[in-house]
Amino acid sequence: MGAREAPRWGGNVQMTEERYWMVARLIGPFLEEPCCEPIPISRKSGYEQPALYVVVNRAGYICYGGRTDALGPRFGKHRQQEDKVEEWAEYWVFPLYSDTHPDKIKELEAEMNSRLGIQLVKRPRRLKRPRRR
């Protein structure tokens, strides 16, 4: 990140313990166990089941909210992206029961992001070339 560039992942909302519990209540019976403390981005959480997570920068502002089937491999991919490594400092995790249906996880992620004011990033779909006959 150049000296004149604005942070790409900086957010407007600070993640707090109160916000963690708000999301935990939203997840309700799908939350396997609460983990109400941020984990350094360089450290593994120890959770390998499906989870929702919220990433914050060094000032504690929310950068990103996501979902995954397993945190270890997902964060391994995040750590390979330079802009994320430079700005992301910690993450908060919401471990879900392993039998939580993927559609429910997607629904919970959308609701979490909405409640926390996380802007969803819509990635453009790749256009498929028509098949030749």
Q: Is the pLDDT of residue 1 over 60?
A: no
* Options 3.20.19.10, 3.40.1440.10, 1.10.3720.10, 3.40.30.10; CATH of 17-116: 3.40.1440.10
Q: Is the pLDDT of residue 123 over 60?
A: no
Closest alpha carbon to 111 in 36, 24, 13, 17: 24
Domain boundaries along the sequence of the chain: 17-116
- 20-68 confidence digits (pLDDT tens): 999 999 999 999 999 889 998 877 777 778 999 999 998 899 988 999 8
Angle between helices 102-116 and 17-27 (to 10 degrees): 150
Q: Provide the pLDDT for residue 43.
A: 78
pLDDT band at 2 (very low <50, low <70, confident <90, very high): very low
**How far apart are the C-alpha atoms of 1 and 44, rounded to whole Å?**
25
**How far apart are the C-alpha atoms of 27 and 17, rounded to whole Å?**
15
